[in-house]
A and B are shown apart, each in its own frame.
Chain A
Amino acid sequence: MNAALRHLRYVLGENLVTLAAFALFVVLVAVAVLGPWIEPHDPLATDAMHALTPPSAAHWFGTDAVGRDILSRIIAATRLDLGIAFAAVVLSFAIGALAGLAAGYFGGWTERVVGRAADTIMAFPLFVLAMGIVAALGNTTPNIVYATAIINMPLYARVARTEASVLRQAGFVEAARLGGNSEARILLAQVLPNTMPLLAVQMSLTMGYAILNAAGLSFIGLGISPPTPEWGIMVAEGASNIISGEWWVALFPGLALMLAVFCFNLLGDGLRDLIDPRRRT
């Protein structure tokens, strides 16, 4: 454990971009976890007397058209947006990566079925596919998670398939077979860990996509329903105010969204450095 911590410190010290992304990540997670305790105001409480007030000491990010505190709403939305994205990433990793590994490792009809399924999903414009899924199933939080997971699955399946099809020839896989391990065991204990550095990068990137996707669905009215605070809805609600000069309503939630996506995109390489022991030199 101590060695792992030392390695974490080394990777972060080595690369400032990773350090910044990691710091941002810690802040995001802290905000998501502590949400209700650090919101200065009730994110749902309206206050018609103070509608559309610009950023001030009382309301750092200003208030929206019905007088709700924007900072509190951004904080409250962090947990929801990160939660949806995280659940979607875990789901698409679990299904996509396993299917891809099996496809690459066993080849034959497994590969054909998984490959065609992934190609079919990739043939759609992905956001339109997500819209279709949510529209068909109903716009509840679990359905947004499923839609986001489904459009990300092919990415995992492809990366895992490519890696596994190379690794199945590897000497240590052969050695494990010679050592009397079953195929399923080799796949999970030998092949999967060796694909993790690449899959971790993929996870971090798709985390960014997933946040954008969830916010995008809400932005066009197919995701989370108002008045629940969510970054996409808040940007949508604030969009009409920009023309009349109340820029803060859309800007701050948009900024939060951008920072979150940015953070996960930058985190990818650092995550690979953390996981891959070959980088510990």
Chain B
Amino acid sequence: MSELHPLLSISDLSVEFRTRSGTVRALEKVSLDVGRGETVALVGESGSGKSVTAYALLGLLDPAARITSGHIMFGGADLRGLGERALEEMRGREVSLISQNPRGALNPIRPVGKQLADVLLRHASIARTQVQQRVVEMLAKVGIPDPARRAAAYPFELSGGMCQRVTIALALACSPSLLIADEPTTGLDVTTQAVVMDLLAELAGASRMATILITHDLALAGEYADRIVVMHAGHVVESAPTAELFARPRHPYTAKLIAATPKPDTRLADLAAIPGNLPDVRRADLPHCRYSARCERREARCEAPLPLVAVGQSHMVACWQPL
């Protein structure tokens, strides 16, 4: 693995779902780079393809889904060419995932310490005698008080925030080089959200782990991500360093998203709603720009195939007439 290549490089990834009501083109030509130690936020509405991107890269797409084109280069190898065994080795060790439902992600009838031990024994080369000690260390590291005693607790005995800490410990147990956090704070109350995000940021920084933060919360992404990738209906519409994206959004959709995000000094009435809904991605006659139906700046040349324009250093936008 050379430092020259990004840790993860997804290029032109397209994914289709075969459903009874037609083929859903869930992702179309999605490209995404994540460097070592970098935190990249995938932002978009529900159904915009954020999670599909993550599951495609883990090789865990639904059986109805098919990758129709593109490459997923991770650490120099194309994951699409790997067999199931190699993928199993990779999952949990190189790439791991934190889900939005921490309680559901834990086996309800197994003490959390045992579950952590399972992961360590599966992937880390560690002696059986040292596992218990490592488990307690891991639980302490994610800020669980009295970790030695909590290791024997069942998930239902812990609060939602504590469960999320346990799933973070599970995800980080084998020091992966990439962590996918799929809406990690959705199921938590607001005060816990900040604590969990700070913990994630701290642990990621300490081990130079790259993070893909999947969220619909642009404010959260703005706070924690180095770079933000905005998705809309299976397209990447804009990708830019966080500060630049907020200072100068170039895609009309990004601008609308930012306007729809509350700030301390805005009142609820000032927030702008984005008109319309995601287009029906089953349609065969989808326009090249899937945002065009909702766009106020639409004009004739928007019918042509989308360009991906570099409007600044590492600032890309898929629009004919960026702001």
Are A171 and B105 neighbours in the complex by a CB distance under 8 Å? yes
Are A171 and B122 neighbours in the complex by a CB distance under 8 Å? no
B89, B90, B92, B103: residue with the most chain A Cβ atoms closer than 10 Å: B92
Are A177 and B91 neighbours in the complex by a CB distance under 8 Å? yes
Are A172 and B92 neighbours in the complex by a CB distance under 8 Å? no
Are A175 and B88 neighbours in the complex by a CB distance under 8 Å? no
Chain B positions near chain A (C-beta within 8 angstroms)? 58, 60, 87-93, 96-97, 99, 101, 103-111, 118-119, 122-123, 154, 156, 167, 170
CB-defined contacts of A174 to chain B, threshold 8 Å: 60, 99, 105
CB-defined contacts of B93 to chain A, threshold 8 Å: 180
CB-defined contacts of A170 to chain B, threshold 8 Å: 104
7 contacts between A and B (CB under 8 A): A171-B99, A172-B108, A175-B97, A179-B123, A180-B93, A180-B123, A190-B107
Are A175 and B122 neighbours in the complex by a CB distance under 8 Å? no
- Say which residue of A180, A190, A276, A280 sits within 8 Å of B122 (CB atoms): A180
Q: How far is the CA of A175 from the CA of B118 in the complex (A)?
A: 12
Q: A171-B99, A193-B110 are in contact. Are A181 and B88 (CB under 8 A)?
A: yes
Q: How far is the CA of A277 from the CA of B96 in the complex (A)?
A: 28
Are A194 and B122 neighbours in the complex by a CB distance under 8 Å? no
> Could you list 16 further interchain pairs (A-B, Cβ under 8 angstroms) beyond the known A180-B123, A277-B111?
A171-B99, A171-B106, A172-B104, A172-B105, A172-B106, A172-B107, A174-B99, A175-B105, A175-B106, A175-B167, A175-B170, A178-B58, A179-B119, A180-B93, A181-B122, A278-B154
What is the minimal beta-carbon distance from A281 to any residue of chain B, in angstroms?
A: 8
Q: A178-B58, A178-B60, A181-B122 are in contact. Are A171 and B101 (CB under 8 A)?
A: yes
Please list the 4 inter-chain residue pairs (A to B) with the smallest Cβ-Cβ separation, ordered nearest first: A171-B104, A179-B92, A180-B92, A180-B91
What is the minimal beta-carbon distance from B27 to any residue of chain A, in angstroms?
A: 19
Q: How far is the CA of A178 from the CA of B87 in the complex (A)?
A: 10
A171, A189, A276, A278: residue with the most chain B Cβ atoms closer than 10 Å: A171
Q: What residue of chain A has the Cβ atom nearest to residue B90's Cβ?
A: A180
Are B108 and A178 neighbours in the complex by a CB distance under 8 Å? no
Q: What residue of chain A has the Cβ atom nearest to residue B109's Cβ?
A: A277
Q: How far is the CA of A180 from the CA of B103 in the complex (A)?
A: 19
Judge whether A244 is part of the interface by a CB distance below 8 angstroms: no
